Every structure is written in structure tokens, then in C-alpha cells.
Amino acid sequence: MLTRNFLDTPAENAHVAEPFAEIEQLVQQINHMLDQWLISERRAGPDLTDFPLVNLSEDHDRYILKAMIPGVKTEDLDIRAAAKSVSISGEPHIPEEREGVRYRQRERQNKQFSRIVSLSREIDPDQVDAQIEKGVLTLRLPKTKEFRTKQIPIK
């Protein structure tokens, strides 16, 4: 049986030992570039080290925002509500360690923070209620009447 091999490389191109080697090298370069891009995007975007960590839920007449703010006193907090957003800022006061201590890992810091949470519907800033219990700030954010949902019964 006579067969013809179309993938044979000519002798003058002997440096190309495998016909798909260049394509494989290109794929590896693209994968490397994508990995680098994803790493930089991960650094630029929000991640789990954002402070404070926030949960936002809603029912038909209000939003409930819970933020973990351990070590922050009420007098060191600034909470502002606008029609469609809430901002929380402040500074924890963590006591300094004794002098001469060498840190192996230091994640807790006396560092100012600010977090803005956008809302999809308008709230009534005059009716916002704030409470702190065991390092958890709870904000109750009532929606304005025109944005509250109402269930319509079927007749």
C-alpha cells in the first residue's frame, strides 16, 4: 500500500522537528498571558479581605445590611445613607503589642476603612436604624413607599 505523509518536513526546515510545535508554544504563551491577566484582575477587584465584610438582604419593605466590624467602637463609625446607597467608614483601634515583639503574621491593623454599598431601590435615609452587637453592625434600611412591593391577590 502506498501512503503519502503530508506532515514530513523538508530537510532545510529540520529545526522544526514536529509540525505543531510552534502552535503548542503559542498556546503555552497565551495561557501564561491569561494567567497573568487573571492574577492582576483578582488583585484589582474586590476580594474576601475587603473590610468590613457585608451581607445585604431584602424583603418587600426594607433592606437589611450586616457588616462585621470587630474592634470598632460606635464613636469611631461614620454611617451615611443616601437614596440608593449606604456608606460605612471608621477605624478600628487595636492595641499595640509589647515592644520587641517580632511578627510572624500581621493581618489586624489600625487602618481606616470605607465601604459603599449600592442599593437597587431607593430608601428613606431618615428612617435608617443602626445597631451593633458583638462586633456586627446591623442597618435596617426601609424602602420608600413608592418602591415597596405589594402582592396583588388574584380574584
Helix ranges (DSSP H) in 18-143: 21-44
pLDDT-based confidence at 63, cuts 50/70/90?
very high
Q: Which residues of 134-150 are buried (b: 16+ CB within 10 A; e: fewer)?
A: eeebebebbbeeebeee
Q: Kindly report, residue by residue over 1-41, the tens digit of the pLDDT.
A: 455 555 555 555 555 556 777 888 888 888 888 777 776 65
What residue has cell string 503559542? Answer: 26
- Nearest C-alpha neighbor of 122 from the set 100, 153, 146: 146
Cβ-in-10-Å burial (0-12, 13-18, 19+) of 91 comes to middle
Asked whether residue 48 carries a pLDDT value surpassing 50, the answer given is no
Predicted TM-score (pTM) of the model is 0.60
Q: Kindly report, residue by residue over 120-140, the tens digit of the pLDDT.
A: 899 999 999 999 999 999 999
Strand ordering across the sheet containing 113-118: 77-81, 85-90, 113-118
What's residue 31's pLDDT?
A: 80
What residue has cell string 474592634? Answer: 71
Q: Kindly report, residue by residue over 64-119, the tens digit of the pLDDT.
A: 999 998 888 889 899 999 999 999 999 887 777 778 888 777 777 777 888 999 99
What's residue 10's pLDDT?
A: 54
The set of cell numbers assigned to 120 is: 437597587
SS3 67: strand
Per-residue DSSP letter, 46 = -
On whether the CB atoms of residues 67 and 52 are closer than 8 A, the answer is yes
The set of cell numbers assigned to 27 is: 498556546
Q: Between residues 68 and 151, which one has the greater pLDDT?
A: 68
Report the alpha-carbon distance of residue 88 to residue 115 in Å, rounded.
5
Q: Between residues 148 and 68, which one has the greater pLDDT?
A: 68
Q: Between residues 145 and 66, which one has the greater pLDDT?
A: 66
Average pLDDT over residues 44-54: 63
Asked whether residue 46 carries a pLDDT value surpassing 50, the answer given is no
- Nearest C-alpha neighbor of 111 from the set 51, 45, 43, 48: 51
Report the alpha-carbon distance of residue 88 to residue 116 in Å, rounded.
6
